[in-house]
Amino acid sequence: MKNAARRIYIALIFIFMYAPIATLGVLSFNASKSRAKWGGFTVKWYVSLFENEEIMRALWNTLSIALISSLVATVVGTISCIAIQSMKKKGRAIVMGVTNIPMLNADIVTGISLMLLFIVLGIRLGFFTILLSHITFNIPYVILSVMPRMKQLNPSVYEAALDLGASHVQAFFKVIFPDILPGVLSGFLMAFTMSLDDFIITYFTKGPGIDTLSTKIYTEVRKGIKPEMYALSTIIFVVVLVLLFLVNRTPKDKPAK
């Protein structure tokens, strides 16, 4: 009884989460260019997608920016968490305050402020400026998902490891890291996803001729999205989904904990 209620609840939430995605999937097979009309079934958008150099280039930019920025952010963020944790209360509060700024600030302000910075520094807007901005707004996501784990750690375990002769690095990787690993990974994933999904900050820090999927879609929103975009999103989604199932089917090397 209780289990059934739980299942229904989860199912409802999933319908809510995935209804728009199903909609996009259906639209990708729509022969009409307009999203408002069903023009019959077609797979032509899946063919023309791969011939569309601009979309392919935008995809490449999006993925490489997301990957590099989230990796850098994960490393910097995790290291910073250790440093922040060891700070005195006051210092910690200040640094956490600053960390929260890019997350809490309106994206548009972050975007504009970074654009102003790049202009003043004379850096030409392009791939590099987008990358720097993405790292900047990704770090807080990593810190915020690592920090709760870090706070729940027992500091004496680390000290015990040191007392038993482990170096700082050893102590970190043997004692702390396994415990915060879920936080680090979800931070990385969060950062990667945020970068993938960001539009506003990219919009302000991008230069001529460089587009990510978001900025490309935004210019298309007003004009009507090219159906190839639906096709691309559907492909990305299905690929991730299939990989996800494969990963979960293979036998586990060992229980996560």
- The yes or no reply on residue 163 touching another protein (CB under 8 A) is no
Interface positions, 166-185, toward another protein (CB under 8 A) = 168, 181-183, 185
Q: Tell me, what amino acid is at 182?
A: P
CB nearer to another protein: give 82 or 166: 82
Q: Which of 130, 131, 139, 231 binds another protein (CB under 8 A)?
A: 139
Q: Tell me, what amino acid is at 169?
A: V
Minimum CB separation of residue 106 from another protein in Å reads: 4
Residue 90 corresponds to which tokens in the numbers above? 């006051």
- The yes or no reply on residue 46 touching another protein (CB under 8 A) is no
Q: Which of 31, 42, 46, 101 binds another protein (CB under 8 A)?
A: 101
Q: How far is CA 139 from the centre of its chain?
A: 11
Q: How far apart are CA 237 and CA 250, in angstroms?
A: 20
- The yes or no reply on residue 155 touching another protein (CB under 8 A) is no
Q: Assign 3-class secondary structure to 177-220.
A: HHHHHHHHHHHHHHHHHHHHHCCHHHHHHCCCCCCCHHHHHHHH
Residue 196 corresponds to which tokens in the numbers above? 């993938």
Interface positions, 51-70, toward another protein (CB under 8 A) = 53-54, 56-57, 59-60, 63-64, 66-67
- The yes or no reply on residue 8 touching another protein (CB under 8 A) is no
- The yes or no reply on residue 47 touching another protein (CB under 8 A) is no
